[in-house]
Amino acid sequence: MSCFQSGFEVILSHLALTCASLLAALTAVCWYIRDSYKVDGFTQKHVFITGCDSGFGNLLARQLDGKGFHVIAACLTEKGAADLAAAASPRLKTLLLNVTDSSSIRRAVEFVSKEVGRRGLWGLVNNAGRSVPIGPTEWMRLEDFTKVLDVNLIGVIEVTLQFLPLMKKAQGRVVNVASILGRLSLTGGGYCLSKWGVEAFSDSLRRDMRHFGIKVSIIEPGFFKTGVTRLDLIEADLRRLWTRLPQHVKDSYGVTYFDDYLKAQDFSMGILCSSDLSKVTWCMEHALTARFPRTRYGAGWDAKLFWIPLSYLPSFVSDFVINVLLPSPKDERKNI
């Protein structure tokens, strides 16, 4: 009897495993089919993108222009706007925008309103951003935080609020660019704070706007070679932060810490940064064109397979990883 029961239990366990596998496969197929449905009428839809001088915004503007969208690309500089216009079709329009200037945002809204007419604005992509000042928290002053927060968070909020009336007309899409650093703080300064804020703002906006047919997606890129990760700019600003520190603070870190920090950063960024920006712009395009856009898009293999999983692990695990990537101050090494 016991042998019969044992054999029966083995059969049941195999049957349960088979059913679970089939269910998982069926779910994956259904998700893939659902994910592939697209909206119609690209040539009748307008998309407004911030931060198009270079990087993700520039590539997305050209990518959507090639798909037939009416792209309105906001650039910070005249050169950025001119270069983009020269690389795109006459259908693409450019304008100058400083997302930290309320009057500049209002002028952009007026321009876009004339372009979209009664149809409204289908897509708003909040892509503009900056990284510096970034580095150890103790090296910062309050204004160093606000420089980044004003662009990456407050700018995103104000641009979104001013464009919402046009979005509601089209029942369109808001796509906000956050970062894996919006899930896991790897360093000090305003960048990680701003991206955590973008995550929170986007979640509350999504829940509020679903009643009006507006869908909100968050893009969480890993490390890519853009203006945000330019080592020359980051290192020059780190040197500025280090130079102005009081001598007693420098002494607490040790004479070699600054150089060790730069070397560790160069090594890490050299390994992590991908040059394939299309991994990010594909996510942006899907959020704008899919009938059922995702709430969050992890962009890049490092985001999908390392950083996002790491953000779910206990803090001591992520602390260990970050400690491996960055040097320790002199005093800490002595205490150990």
Active site residues: 191
Pairing of strands 70-75, 93-96: parallel
How far apart, in Å, are the Cα atoms of 51 and each of 76, 165, 192? Answer: 7, 21, 19
String of DSSP letters for 46-66: EEEES--SSHHHHHHHHHHHH
Q: Residue 297's beta-bridge partner residues?
A: 219
Match 């080592």 to its residue by tokens. 231
DSSP 40: S
Structure-block tokens of residue 73: 């690309």
Contacts of 60 by beta carbon, 8 Å cutoff, 6+ apart: 49, 52, 125, 127, 281, 284, 285
Match 């020059």 to its residue by tokens. 236
CA separation for the pair 209, 169 (Å, rounded):
12
CB 134 within 8 A of CB 237: yes
Q: Residue 71's beta-bridge partner residues?
A: 47
CB 172 within 8 A of CB 122: yes
Structure-block tokens of residue 130: 């900056």
CA separation for the pair 96, 307 (Å, rounded):
34
Please provide residue 124's backbone torsions phi and psi, each rounded to the nearest 5 degrees: -120, 120
Contacts of 63 by beta carbon, 8 Å cutoff, 6+ apart: 278, 281, 285
